[in-house]
Amino acid sequence: MPRRLSLIQLGKGTVGSALIDQVAEQRPALRERLGVDLVYAGIAGRSHGVLEPRGVDLKRWRAAVKAGDGLGGRQLLRRAMGSISGAAVLVDATAEEGMAGLYLEAVAGGFHVVSCNKKPLAGPLADYRRVQEACRRKRRFWLHEVTVGAGLPVITTLRDLLDGGDRLESIEGCFSGTLNFLCAALDGGQKLSKAVARARELGYTEPDPRDDLAGGDVARKALILAREAGLDLEPEDVKVEPFCPVDGDGDAGAFMKGLERLDAPMAKRCREAAARDRRYRYVARVGRGCSAGPAEVPAGSALGRLGGPENVFVFRTARYRDFPLVVSGPGAGPQVTAAGAFADVIRVARSIAHTA
Ligand SMILES: NC(=O)c1ccc[n+]([C@@H]2O[C@H](COP(=O)([O-])OP(=O)(O)OC[C@H]3O[C@@H](n4cnc5c(N)ncnc54)[C@H](OP(=O)(O)O)[C@@H]3O)[C@@H](O)[C@H]2O)c1
């Protein structure tokens, strides 16, 4: 008889729906291989949700959510806590602020938590530590691999290094697929305004590209890594410089129109860097502190060689000093992100299988 792991998922957008579909496909194999049955007991969006403790029929989960009885995420979780027994995971596939309180409720109710959402990890330090402490006391996982580098094993690598007694000196890299796409386009002689418009068309940017260009998303990822490495930093402790001057006035459309004025100065910066055999990149660094900003890097380095919407993370530690440990690959996209969150769910499933 397989052990059961119930899933309650908030968020059924791009990443959330890809995750449900991946779990549906892989469920029989995991039942066989791990002896754990992954059962979606609840799925909710902003205003609609379905709670079915015996398991939502994953062949028709979209219709089931639509026909659900107006349960938002919070209500769904509270009802689920009263009706599910055994091991359970709350999956946060939203981009909502203020989820730390909900996580605390979930952990108090015995749930593990898997987050795709960066905000609860990159908000006030006290909230972050409270959730960590609650998980430690209740012996529950709080896994969030995809909050940095999507499906790439970045946080797992950092945890394994530290748990194994290695000493982190720095993590340096390009943490934004969107900004790397722009850098690669500028390397190829494209105009900044055209490259941003193309990145927007391809769905790489946030709805308002200023959110990417201002560096806030990279700063959040750097802060998450810094906290994971044990640094007690607040969001305002991260030193952030924008990728290029970002005018906060007006809507995204007006900003896009005005972007042409930056074409010539950005092209000049990239040309000058190339003349020195260097490349213009948006580099984040976690060491004693935490920073994110534009920098020139050697053309032949791991950062300089990036040629598209990839991420790269260069770990320097006491054991990996002369030859750093490098993790790189696609750092965004629904399938790889969902796969990373799925891997977190499987980590919980394995722990159940092993304690059975
Ligand atoms: N896309 C990527 O490559 C990537 C990579 C790494 C991490 N992430 C993170 O993954 C998360 C999800 O991204 P996404 O691209 O899937 O976003 P999305 O398509 O905008 O989906 C967000 C989902 O959250 C739901 N939601 C919002 N508030 C909610 C609430 N209070 N309770 C329950 N559901 C709520 C929305 O409900 P409705 O359907 O009702 O609107 C929607 O289904 C984000 O935090 C993002 O930063 C994404």
- Going by alpha carbons, the residue nearest to atom 20 of ligand 1 is 13
Render each residue's pLDDT in the chain as its tens digit; 356 residues. 899 999 999 999 999 999 999 999 999 999 999 999 999 999 999 988 999 999 999 999 999 999 987 878 888 999 999 898 899 999 999 999 999 999 999 999 999 999 999 999 999 999 999 999 999 999 999 999 999 999 999 999 999 999 999 999 999 999 999 999 999 999 999 999 999 999 988 878 877 889 899 999 999 999 999 999 999 999 999 999 999 998 767 888 888 888 999 999 999 999 999 999 999 999 999 999 999 999 999 999 999 999 888 999 999 999 999 999 999 999 888 899 999 999 999 999 999 988 86
Which atom in ligand 1 lies closest to the alpha carbon of residue 49? 33
Residue 249 makes CB contacts below 8 A (sequence gap 6+) with: none
Report whether 3 contacts 356 (CB < 8 A). yes
Best residue among 7, 14, 76 to mutate for probing ligand 1's pocket (most ligand atoms within 8 Å of CB) is 14
**pLDDT score for 240:** 97
- Specify the ligand 1 atom closest to the Cα of 95: 45
Residues involved in catalysis? 221
Calculate how far, in angstroms, residue 280's C-alpha sits from the geometric centre of ligand 1: 31
Going by alpha carbons, the residue nearest to atom 6 of ligand 1 is: 150
Q: State the closest ligand 1 atom to the C-alpha of 117, by its place in the atom list counted from 1.
A: 45
Count other C-beta atoms under 10 Å from residue 341's C-beta. 29
Q: Rounded to the nearest whole angstrom, what is the distance from the C-alpha of residue 11 to the centroid of ligand 1?
A: 5
Between CA 185 and CA 187 the distance in angstroms is: 5
Residue nearest to atom 18 of ligand 1 (CA): 13
- pLDDT value of position 248: 66
Question: Atom 21 of ligand 1 has which residue's CA nearest to it?
Answer: 13
- Tokens representing 184? 């690669």
User: What's the rounded Cα separation, in Å, for the pair 351 and 354?
Assistant: 5
In one-letter notation, the amino acid at residue 234 is E
The secondary structure of 147-195 as a DSSP string is: GTTTTS-SHHHHHHHHHTT--EEEEEEE--HHHHHHHHHHHTT--HHHH
* Residue to mutate, 7, 8, 9, 15, ligand 1, most ligand atoms under 8 Å from C-beta: 15
CA 314 to each of CA 166, 175, 283, 303: distance values in angstroms, whole numbers, following the listed order: 15, 10, 11, 9
Ligand 1 atom closest to 47 (CA): 40
Q: For residues 100 and 108, is the Cβ–Cβ distance under 8 A? A: no
Ligand 1, pocket residues at CB < 6 Å: 10-16, 44-47, 72-73, 93-96, 116-118, 146, 150, 332-334, 337
**117 CA to middle of ligand 1, Å?**
8
d(Cα 335, Cα 342) in Å, to the nearest integer?
10
Q: Report the nearest-CA residue for atom 10 of ligand 1.
A: 116
